[in-house]
Structure 1
């Protein structure tokens, strides 16, 4: 079975060795494609594991989505310039982690990017590049160092009206990490969670071999550029040829 997502694909070999086999499920979640494969002793066990994984992804999406008006992230954005918002500790710690990444990267990673006006369009409709003034105006509310956290109250405050946060750069990877942790807690010894190029693999295939990950050739998507044997590792890819102006 061959699964291609973004610029990454995974080859799954199924075997009945020791009564186990690989079971695969693909579903759109969080606006992207999730490919989940678990090694289990039968379909019933596999379905239970897959349901646990999908429920966890849904839970995380409900927490961090900026499109869902009922999410805590949307509440933070609505209250920008007005008042702090008390959030679940998980979301608070994720925001704190994101700020740490922003500091580590000198702002190259910044969840307040969501404050930018939508001047870039990747649907082929742009006829000209935005002006320098338009670009400057679009980032006026961006700045991770403006985000105010109250650790004792678990509150988040965006001080500037119009300021927003979004987890587009980290959300699906975080969901893959959390899903892996939960599945391992439930006794899943071998699986892959692939969130459109943010991939977590642990254990081995049902036949005892390491999982095999193929990096898609950007010039010919039907062929692999390279193969990686993966065990208890994460692989992250991004194809700038997939979305561009």
Structure 2
């Protein structure tokens, strides 16, 4: 069943992070009504919209692939491959699927690249804080120090020949929340392409991936969520074609204690949420899994070091939004980025 969509301004609200705004020009050729489905997966609301003449079956196939990945890697489910690895920590290797091994290998690579600012062995600390769950709380310093001592990506051992993994020390655990959604978006895109889809938007809770251009041949217009307003309020727009747009922000998941906000982007070195002047970082690139992992490291770096890092990575652009409503963008975005909220100021 096709959903009714305004062809001039099609709004697909990205849960928590981004708002997608594909634009169609009036008077252009008549376009196929898009088909769209939404599911709750990977701990967030996920929407896939296809703008070609296809049945809903093609979206179902993409969601089935996302579900496979969720069942193997989600921290929100029990009995996953990650649980098996944690249960065997300090004892023995565990055979995992090709999917999980690939994501773990990528995760360890980006953990090394970041020097541990992004670390996929952060599981014990994430569970301790419980941010985004009903068990969120401010832990004591002794608790934090204890869990922090269990975080070290170097202690994740990978046996590539046999697709086996092991955590060296008892009590260690993995958390792929900072990378698995990116992989799922890439895989959903692959399934759509293999089924003949040419124009689509995949939105996995803020991990956005666009297939080609919109049906008119123009770039997709994506609105960047205002981190200080309710969902759907945007501060800027950016035009992209065949790109992924991934955001990490302090407003995604958090709780308040004694008037202080504790957000979910944890600093493995301090054991507390990262504390700088950034409200969000958005990356635009070609592969979603890469952007997903890099956002946390770049958020940790802050604006100056973050921009320098982005400059060294091919086909990577970034948007930095500060807590005092300043916006910094990398040079490759100057011609397709526009602020739409006058309370924000573009700084470069």
Relative distance call for 1:162 and 1:210 in structure 2 (3 A) is same
Alignment of 1:1-245 (within 5 A): 1-4=10-13, 5-13=15-23, 17=29, 20-41=32-53, 45-116=54-125, 118-122=127-131, 129-221=138-230, 222-244=232-254, 245=262
Equivalent-residue separation in structure 2 for 1:19 and 1:113 (angstroms):
46
Q: In structure 1, what is the Cα distance between the partners aligned to 2:139 and 2:184?
A: 33
Identify the range of structure 1 (131-140 vs 11-20) with the bigger mean alpha-carbon deviation: 11-20
Match of 2:320 in 1: none
- C-alpha offsets along residues 131-162 of structure 1, whole Å, 9 cap, x if unaligned? 44332112121111011111222111112111
1:108-149 deviations in whole A, cap 9, x for unaligned? 11111002274425469878x544433211212111101111
- Does the CA contact (< 8 Å) of 1:189 and 1:203 recur in 2? yes
**Structure 1: where are the runs of 5+ without partners?**
none
What secondary structure, in the 3-state scheme, does the structure 2 residue paired with 1:220 have?
A: coil
SS of 1:21's equivalent in the other structure is coil
Larger mean CA deviation between 99-108 and 174-183 belongs to: 174-183
Q: Deviations over 1:84-106 (max 9, x none)?
A: 11112232122111111011000
The 2-side partners of 1:23 and 1:29 are apart by 19
C-alpha contact 1:117 1:139 (8 A) present in aligned 2: no
Secondary structure in 1 matching 2:198: coil
Displacement of 1:82: 2.0
> Which is worse superposed, 51-60 or 6-15?
6-15
- How much has 1:241 moved relative to structure 2? 2.2
Q: 1:241 and 1:88, CA in 2 relative to 1: closer, same or farther beyond 3 A? A: closer
Tell me how far apart the structure 1 counterparts of residues 229 and 158 of structure 2 sit (CA, whole Å). Answer: 46
The TM-score normalised by the length of structure 1 is 0.88
Secondary structure, in 3 states, of the residue corresponding to 2:172?
coil
Question: Kindly tell me: are residues 126 and 54 of structure 1, through their superposed partners in 2, closer, same or farther at Cα, counting changes over 3 Å?
Answer: closer
| Contact 1:76/1:158 (<8 A) preserved | yes
Return the alpha-carbon distance in structure 2 between the equivalents of residues 177 and 138 of structure 1: 32
Whole-Å separation in 2 of the counterparts to 1:165 and 1:138: 12
The structure-2 alpha-carbon separation of the partners of 1:61 and 1:117, relative to structure 1 and needing over 3 Å to count, comes to closer
User: Partners in 1 of 2:118 and 2:245 — Cα distance?
Assistant: 19
